Amino acid sequence: MTTPQRFTVPGTDPHFASDNIAGAHPEIMAALADANTDAAAYGGDPITEDFHQMIDTVFGTGAYGFPVFNGTGANIVALQAVSHPHSSVICADTAHVYTSESSAPVRAGISLKPQPHRNGKLDPADVEAVLASDLGNPQSTQPTAVSISQVTEMGTVYTVAEMTALCNAVHEAGLAIHMDGARLAQAAAALGLDLHGATTALGVDILSLGATKNGALGADAVVVLSNRVQQAALAPIIKYTTQLSSKTSFLSAQLNAMFGTSLWHRNATTANTAAQQLAHGLAAIQDVEVPTPDATTVLAAMPETLVARLHEHYVAHLWGHDATGRPIVRLVCSWATTPQKVDELLQVLSP
């Protein structure tokens, strides 16, 4: 499978184009309605106090978080906390922060060192190769952190063994590890772990915690998980990056409803189950090849004729071609993907 070259196949139904397409979950909307009262500004409200307590409870004693507006904001805040303008951050060449966040890292003074991915993943050898080449070299920016995506942009999930080995290698090198957890809920559910077990327990230092892709209206967070990151440094970064909301209570209410209850797991499990159903159905169609999805993302190689048929009905993204030249279509399931929705897509592609 090649590195994805993304472009959109237009259609009429956008449902499987991204999990960002789905609306907000009713429990999120109810939490927002409950929060719609007078409240102290800039996080000085009881709902945000509950958020801080929830983060400490869910991710482990000492964990501390800041609500932010979106995933890009969370990534930029987190990476600024573990780097500086004359250092660098190692990431996969498919990482969202590298491929899909435009000039935001540059504006923030973050220098990225993208490395060739293995199904979207980095491994300790990738980190060691950069260190061998750059560490102590005055001609190179010095790495201070590694950024990984969980779930990756290829839809894969780091296993516990992979995460442990990578975190150990990063820490042995004296670097910090950042997790882009835009789909952390889906990864944790797929691994059978709670959120602490999928992050803090494995050695993650700072986390971009995503709720928007799992049913929030629009809320994410930056979460400090270890003493390798100075919590006090985050407050000015939050303001500098325009991620400080005057009405923080509305962000906190969404995060509390998502991660302070079982909602994150229920929504993620629904999405993951739908992806399994979709992959199984596609694999039964002649000339379609589908790896078993780790989480919510299905990458299906299919003939041009089927892509054209899909094109007539759905918005989808093409992610390069497989070794035989067939286009690879990326289809993403969400908390709102029902078995009926999956069946409708399969009927379009079935003979």
Query: Do 238 and 332 share a domain, yes or no?
Result: no
Instruction: With a cut of 90, say whether residue 56 has pLDDT above it.
Output: yes
Query: Do 335 and 229 share a domain, yes or no?
Result: no
Beta bridge partners of 289: 301
Alpha-carbon distance of 202 to 198, in angstroms, equals 6
Q: Residue 1 falls within a domain, yes or no?
A: no
Q: Which residue has the higher pLDDT, 137 or 259?
A: 259
Q: Residue 34 falls within a domain, yes or no?
A: yes
Query: Do 255 and 283 share a domain, yes or no?
Result: no
Query: Do 311 and 255 share a domain, yes or no?
Result: no
Q: Residue 289 falls within a domain, yes or no?
A: yes
| Residue 290, domain CATH | 3.90.1150.10
Structural domain containing residue 10: 6-19+264-349
In this prediction, residues 281-288 reach a mean pLDDT of 96
Read off the pLDDT of residues 322-338 as tens digits, 9 standing for 90 and up. 989 999 999 999 999 99
pLDDT at position 29, please? 98
Instruction: With a cut of 50, say whether residue 187 has pLDDT above it.
Output: yes
> Which contacts qualify for 260-267: CB closer than 8 Å, 24 or more apart?
260/50, 260/54, 260/58, 261/27, 263/25, 263/27, 263/28, 263/215, 264/185, 264/188, 264/195, 264/211, 264/214, 265/185, 265/188, 265/189, 266/335, 267/25, 267/185, 267/214, 267/215, 267/335
Query: Do 285 and 174 share a domain, yes or no?
Result: no
Instruction: With a cut of 90, say whether residue 58 has pLDDT above it.
Output: yes
Q: How many CA atoms lie within 13 A of 119 on its CB side?
A: 15
| Residue 255, domain CATH | 3.40.640.10
Query: Do 242 and 274 share a domain, yes or no?
Result: no
Query: Do 104 and 63 share a domain, yes or no?
Result: yes
Band (197; pLDDT cuts 50, 70, 90):
very high
Query: Do 151 and 32 share a domain, yes or no?
Result: yes
Please say which residue of 244, 261, 278 terminates a domain: 261
Cβ 62 vs Cβ 119: under 8 Å: no
Query: Do 214 and 88 share a domain, yes or no?
Result: yes
Question: Is the pTM of the predicted complex or chain greater than 0.85?
Answer: yes
pLDDT at position 2, please? 47
In this prediction, residues 268-294 reach a mean pLDDT of 96
Q: What is the mean pLDDT of the chain?
A: 92
Q: Please, what is the Cα angle at 195 between 192 and 198, to 5 degrees?
A: 65
pLDDT at position 8, please? 63
Read off the pLDDT of residues 226-272 as tens digits, 9 standing for 90 and up. 999 988 888 899 998 889 999 999 999 999 999 999 999 999 999 99
Read off the pLDDT of residues 79-127 as tens digits, 9 standing for 90 and up. 999 998 888 999 999 999 888 777 888 877 888 999 999 899 999 998 9
